[in-house]
Structure 1
């Protein structure tokens, strides 16, 4: 009969345990190595989202964020009509440019807003500057893109004569052709059209007194995805860190951003030496949290805090050229619109 001493059995058991742990860790590493990426989709949106090489702020921004967050995310751009069904059938795990304007989001785990959207009324005429609320547009013809018009928030506004458009270009053409005196669009898109107009020596758009609606881009991951909460948490942390350090200025092509970085209730100015120069004006700053700036606002350059604009500008490179930057809207595409302006 074979006998094992207590000492021998203990060593044998320990080795078996260590072997089991090693195999388990090996399997886990192999599983992680070959895990499928999380697939998120979005519809194309001029200057924001594209898959054909056109300027796309959201694509560029998210590439940086996912890298920072060490997330394996695959982005797919598709037609709006296919987006919802692709998530429902599991072909996609969610959306990477989700905009909530009254839709039911209960099936999603939503991130924080990573890029706010401010919807303004704009016009060729200065009278739009008196508009503060949607009721002020009552009985007027107003151009709008379908992506906004086909949402619960806008379907409830029945006293406005909406002129719906499938694309950004079509919506802007409503103004160019004087078929609609007003347009509802995002602040950043209106700015890009103004750059195009100014560079062509045309009259620029006027803005309503304030945004008529506020929303923003989020990532929305189906609750059926097992690690959705973890992905969103890592994403939120990376976005916040990069906003505060100015790492998102360049992907957004914005010299100054504002956000309450130090938690005192007042928005601070955020710049980065890769894009912000001494000649960039503060009134072009884009708000990341909707909070107002004041004389108490601090200035952050590359994540470093400065008490005054003069100190902050001392840390910035001098402007190499005074020539205006080109619009993110394609000038060739918009040439016909400019001729009609």
Structure 2
């Protein structure tokens, strides 16, 4: 089979597509023929050795897949060969086949494409876990999304609107903000401009947002925390800006707010039943037409390095997906 191989830590250009033996499922695993794989910011980190999960070299990146079950490892129950499933895993997804823990697999219903299912597992799973489980976002509240034009940010806009929140989108250019508006954002904030906190204040009539969803970190965290409303919930999702911010804890005291971590991968490991139920809800929303994953570009497997470069350079709006079947659009 073909697989994207990382033999040395470094930039996407160091990756190679190679012919490797098909994996075999161990006890408790499923073997899946991959039809689509989501491309995510952690993929750009793991190939540089900068992610908390550090697989031994050589390895295949890719933490989000959808495909068809081809074989079951010993002891696997509740899944059948031929079932189309999706899963958030740690690595291995940028390949024609991958074996992973069967508890991570969620059946994909008819009406949900493989590309959409692959795009849902990590980004939309992170968002729903963050906004609902960790942030307790309620209808009528105001949500501020940082890095709103990226895959996770777009998902946050969409899920925020689904639960009935008013969504403010913060991004760094007019083009990105227009994409956020098209995704349903109620208010737009250019946080590359001076004084963007004043825009937040004006859009919330001085109250501040109830929930802040922050996958960016860096220089944006403290201003956003200073802008949060009374009893607000600040969700720490990631650090795409590259810098882990240090915040003055007096801000948490003065706003009577909560700063809450959202570590979705560990949630899937510790609470697999809850995660499967959550992903099933997401698939149901897509199948019913209530949610359309924001897939902006599709790449063939052979162009995985290019997809990662686009994502790492922050040139992407929405989700990027690799597809393994022939004739995949670029």
TM > 0.5: no
Q: Which bin holds the TM-score, normalised by the shorter protein?
A: under 0.3
TM-score (normalised: structure 1)? 0.27
| Bigger radius of gyration | 1
TM-score (normalised: structure 2)? 0.27
